[in-house]
Amino acid sequence: MTGHVIGLNLSSSYLYGSFDSNSSLFSLVHLQRLSLSDNNFNYSQIPSSIRNFPSLTHLDLSASFFSGQVPSEVSHLSKLTYLDLCCNIEGPNYDPQRLLKLQPSDMRSLVQNLTSLETLSLSFINISSIIPVSLTNLSFLTSLNIKKCDLFGEFPVRIFNLQNLKVLSVRYNQDLTGYFPEFNQSSPLILLKVAFTRFFGTIPSSIGKLNSLQELDVAQCNFSKGISTSYLTGPIPSWLGNFTKLVYLDFSFNHLNGSIPASFSNLTNLEILYLQSNNLSGVVGFQMFQKAQNLYQLQLGSNSLEFVTEQFSNIMDVTVQQFTVLGLSICNLKEFPYFLRNQTKLERLEIAGNKIHGEVPNWMWNISKETLILVDITDNFLSGELPVVIPWVNLLCLRLSNNIFHGRLPVPPPSLLEYGATNNKFTGEISPLLCNMNSLLYLDLSKNNLSGTLPQCLGNFSDGLILLLLGSNSFHGMMPQSFNNRSSLRMIDVSHNQLQGQLPRSLANCVILEYLVLSNNQFNDVFPIWLGTLPELKLLAMPHNEFYGVIGQSRTNIDFPRLRILDLSYNSFKGEIPPLFPNITVNKSTYMYTYVSYDLNGVSIVRSVAYSITLAIKGLDLHYSKIQEGFAAIDISSNKFEGTIPEFVGNLKELHSLNISSNILNGSIPSSLGNLRNLESLDLSHNMLSGRIPQQLTRLTFLGNFDVSHNNLTGPIPQGTQLTSFNSTSYEGNPGLCGDPLPKCGIQEAPQPPPSTEEDSDSGSAQMLEFDLKFGLAGIGSGFVVGVVLADVAITRWHELFLKIVGMVRLTVWKR
């Protein structure tokens, strides 16, 4: 190599390792073109020695795993016409900490100094700044790609008018605002992508003047007639049919309504069409798209469309495109579309949420055997038995849930990442071949009729397994015993089976476990105090089992550091109530979810599964399919706990539900329970409690359920408070209690008025009003029955009015 080399292309050369300033490469001082793209430099920094190339006009460092700060020396390469630093990431699930970073000052310098730039590609670089207005001075610019750069502020509208600009992509900058100008016919724009930004205003009809436009992407934007709505609204303009050069059109995830214009049949060059997740309606004939013979990705799902196909006597006589992506979920399909029969290149098939009855046709198992990676046929009315072994050899995602399939559970290929088969009628044992799926992330076999013992491999066959949902089957025997210390499990549900024996101590290896539900089995063990070492555990439910014994003291004050929901009901625990909750800290604004994400040929798939819980509220099992992070609950009812209610319970100020009924507790009700200002449900019934109901309980202004029945309580019920709104069943079985709603007290036991402080009457009222407006009341009668826990209580229009009325009533009563 000599110093007279002017061009060097090492792209896709399998280069690996760090790249530093001492490299002999930097002796090539006459270099004008340098490409190192598509290599692996192991997240090393771009060397500052890049300044040694003052004659450089072309620099391509894309997709080569560079990390750290982009050196300011890049902005000194004033002759650059082509600069590509994009995509130094490892697939959609990249680590944001490893992104290239460009300081705002360096971004400004780069734009100001590199005035000859024709191509600028900075996608997936963390810029985190506004876009410099000086970018509008790059008059030679033909291509600007700044996708997912954490840009914010308003996009300079004059950039659209750059006379040479052909390619503009600012997608996935979710805090970037802007609007489209009036376009003129001379604009050379070929590609325009602003998806997943906050662009607002209208889509001007002058966009129809962009005669060269081939790709248009406005998915999930703020386009509307104003900026008050969140998505693109209104009908699809019919003039879009004039864009006969269009090859890519994405209007997905907006609020478009009306029908798909018939003029779409003019888009004969279309290759990709995404219209899913809008409010489109009407009948769509497959014939509308048959002129677009190059169409290979079609997404129409999650609208109110009815997709119809014409039947032909011989499918081989019909010319049908070869699709790679076909999304027809919620399209009112009554049967499998006929044209699927000759599909050999399908990668993703989504026909969930339709009205397809009967068995899966035999020919379905023969289509695209080598290419299919996702099949979603959930939420139909499909029945019959499925093949013992799924024939799609490279499948990554199989969704069969919410149908009526029966027979043996099919075995997918080892490549599978997601397997959902919940709510069917599968029977028999889980095949040991399942243990071959060592890449599995998501396994949901709940709500079937599966039986037998659980394969021991379930604890360790896949280090990446995040969700293991096996509830509501007929499994027996012991849980898998070998959960390894590389476990990624966040969610385990084996409830409603017939599992027995002790809990596997290896569960303590699941250090990121958040959700563990063991309900309604036959486990026979002491309380698993060793689970207290799990730093992320939020929900532990183990009711209706055969757990027993005294729950020992926590070894340290950091056991169960994030536990928010504990259900130990219907077991045989005894002794005093243990202090398992040293500190409940909650985030009140979000719901509890587990997320599973993975890459499907460059497309990021994200699955969210909400945490759910069934709680006993006044003798009824209420199921909450979604729980806010701000909810905390303890249920230790129907055990053999004894002694007094410990004072520490009054320190758990984030509690929303406390049920310690049906034990052998004695002593008085601690006045410290009045500190639990967020409490919505309090059940102390069926114990041996004595003394008076503390006046401090009148501070519990959110109570929707209150039960102290069947104790030995005496004296007057505090009057003029919410406690008198509950009916007499909340107090029955206490012969010494008196006062509304029970018979009046004698003169010697006249009820006392509730305590009133300025703090209670003012700030409390504000809190009550906030609660009334934000959450909801599920009914009125035996107390104000609150929709406990910000769960999935429906709030309808009439319900909102009801809330306002009830809120006024409550303030009138409580501020008496």
What's the confidence (pLDDT) of residue 531?
Answer: 93
How far from the centroid of its chain's Cα atoms is residue 408's Cα? 31
Q: What is the pLDDT of residues 634-677, one digit of tens each?
A: 999 999 999 999 988 998 888 999 999 999 999 999 999 999 99
Answer yes or no: are the C-beta atoms of 436 and 458 closer than 8 Å: no
- Angle at 559 (CA atoms; ends 558, 563), nearest 5 degrees: 105
* pLDDT in the model for residue 230: 45
Residue that is written with structure tokens 């009554």 in the block? 334
For the four alpha carbons of 768, 773, 778 and 779, in that order, the dihedral sign comes to positive
587-605 b/e (C-beta count within 10 Å ≥ 16 → b): eeeebbbbebebebeeeeb
Helix (H, G, I), strand (E, B) or coil at 360: coil
Cβ atoms of 775 and 766 within 8 Å: the answer is no
Torsion angles phi and psi, residue 404, rounded to 5: -130, 30
Residues in contact with 481: Cβ distance below 8 Å, sequence separation at least 6, in sequence order? 456, 459, 504, 506
The closest alpha carbon to 306, from 339, 279, 278, 333, belongs to: 333
Do the beta carbons of residue 517 and residue 492 sit within 8 Å? yes
User: Using N-to-C axis directions, what is the helix angle for 797-814 and 758-774, rounded to 10°?
Assistant: 170
pLDDT of residue 554: 61
**Could you read off the pLDDT of 36-71 as tens digits, one per residue?**
999 999 999 999 999 999 999 999 999 999 999 999
Q: Domain limits of the chain?
A: 1-178
Chosen CATH of 1-178 out of 3.80.10.10, 3.40.50.300, 3.40.50.10860, 3.40.50.620: 3.80.10.10
Helix (H, G, I), strand (E, B) or coil at 424: coil
For 462-493, how does the pLDDT look when each residue is reduced to its tens digit (9 = 90+)?
Answer: 889 999 999 999 999 999 999 988 999 999 99
The strand order across the sheet containing 198-201 reads 152-154, 175-178, 198-201, 222-223
Q: What is residue 592's predicted lDDT score, i.e. its pLDDT?
A: 85
Mean pLDDT score across all residues of the chain: 86
pTM of the model as a whole: 0.85
pLDDT tens-digit series, residues 195-225: 999 988 778 888 888 989 999 999 988 765 4
d(CA 489, CA 534): 12
Q: Check: CB of residue 777 under 8 Å from CB of residue 806.
A: yes
Neighbouring CB atoms inside 10 A of 348's CB total: 23
What is the number of other CB atoms lying within 10 angstroms of the CB of residue 1?
9
In this structure, are strands 442-444 and 664-667 parallel, antiparallel, or unpaired?
unpaired
Low-confidence ranges of the chain (pLDDT < 50): 1, 225-230, 313, 756-816
Rounded CA gap, 742 and 693, in Å? 14
